[in-house]
Amino acid sequence: MGKDMRDVYTETLIELAEKDDRICVLEADLMNATGTRPFSQRFPERTFDVGVSEADMVGTASGLSAEGKIPFAASFSTFASRRVFDQFFLSANYARLNVKLVGTDPGITATYNGGTHMSFEDVGMMRLIPDLTIVEPSDIVSCAALVKAVARHSGCVYLRMHRKGSQELYPADTEFTLGKGCVLRDGTDVTLIASGFVMVPEALRAAELLEKSGISAAVIDMHTIKPLDAELVVAYAKKTGAIVTCENHQTAGGLGGAVAELLAEEHPTRMGRIGSQERFGQVGTFEYLLNDYRMDAVSIAEKAENVIKRR
């Protein structure tokens, strides 16, 4: 196994900060979790741990941005969304600043921290903010590339970031563009549109299961949830005639909601959505939660077969 996602996040920030003295890091007593301690050691004068006060952190990041800095502020995705929503909405986005808000431990990856820490709504909330960019990398290669793209992008970003564990779905040096999804596997019968560290590999496994049943499934890594890659979604809706979205989030409001809204207007297509269905979070192991919320490859494959049958 390679480096943890958070190590890649931190190394990339250090690399960026070596060349750009506007880059700074804010934490709210979760520096050990986000993994940015090496950044704080390299750039102590550009690191601000404000303690357990997320709203204050986002307000402070907004002020830094107003003076031209590029702040990356992090907390668990629950607190980086619900707890700071108004501060992020107004002080950062409405004020047209350049704040990068990082939400870690998305959805079921909160495992033992349970319902209070399990974000199934952060993407939905963030999608309501005009012009915000929402990014969720699926592996360490896309993480490094996308963190750089996020830093280059002029405007606020919500970066939904898996932190523990490592995986490589892309060859090193693959290029990524914000707003452009990646076709990981082509297919003709159904398209699985997934986001993030948990669901992209789950969708790839589902595609293999479907192949065994004679169904050809395309898999798209939709690393940028907003702005959504409308061209790609519509092209694959036309090509395969069936879409299943896969997200570690509620089926309402997030990736599934975004794709459904787009297709309803542009190209009505049979659809299914994988994710938490109108439920709160809870404690449990990762495997328990993956199965309990029916986000596993088998559930995705079943959903895909049902959607295809509806034709």
Partner 1 sequence: MTQAQMQHLSAKAREVRINTLKSIGHLGIGHVGGALSIVEVLTYLYYDAMTVHPDTPRHPDRDRLVLSKGHAGPALYSILAMKGFFPMEWLYTLNVGGTRLPSHCDRNLTPGIDMTTGSLGQGLSAAVGIALACRMDKRKSTVYAIIGDGESQEGQVWEAAMTAPMFKLDNLIAFTDFNKMQIDGKTADIMNIEKLEAKWSAFGWHTQRINGHDFAELDKAVAAAREASGTPSMIILDTIKGKGCPAAENKVSSHNMPLSADDLEEALSALTAAEGDA
Ligand X SMILES: Cc1ncc(C[n+]2csc(CCOP(=O)(O)OP(=O)(O)O)c2C)c(N)n1
Q: Which residues contact ligand X by CB under 6 A?
A: 29-30, 52, 54, 79, 83
Contacts of 230 (CB under 8 A, 6+ apart): 262, 266
3 binds partner 1 (CB under 8 A): no
With CB under 8 A as the contact rule, the residue among 4, 7, 15, 49 that binds partner 1 is: 49
Q: Which is nearer to ligand X, 11 or 54 (CB)?
A: 54
Binding to partner 1 (CB under 8 A): which residues in 14-43? 27, 29-33
d(CA 13, CA 250): 30
Hey, is 144 helix, strand or coil? helix
With 0-12 / 13-18 / 19 or more C-beta atoms within 10 angstroms meaning exposed / middle / buried, residue 36 is buried
Smallest gap from Cβ 124 to partner 1, in A, equals: 18
278 within 8 A of 109, measured Cβ to Cβ:
no
d(CA 74, CA 170): 26
Q: Which is nearer to partner 1, 29 or 266 (CB)?
A: 29
Binding to partner 1 (CB under 8 A): which residues in 129-148? none
Smallest gap from Cβ 281 to partner 1, in A, equals: 10
116 binds partner 1 (CB under 8 A): yes
* CA 99 and chain centroid, separation: 16
With CB under 8 A as the contact rule, the residue among 168, 186, 266, 292 that binds partner 1 is: 292
Selection from ligand X, partner 1, none that 115 binds (CB < 5 to 8 A by kind) is partner 1
**Greatest alpha-carbon span in the chain:** 60
Nearest to 194 by CA among 139, 152, 146: 139
Binding to partner 1 (CB under 8 A): which residues in 221-280? none
- Binding stretches for partner 1 (CB under 8 A): 27, 29-33, 49-53, 55-56, 78-79, 82-83, 112-117, 282-285, 288-289, 292
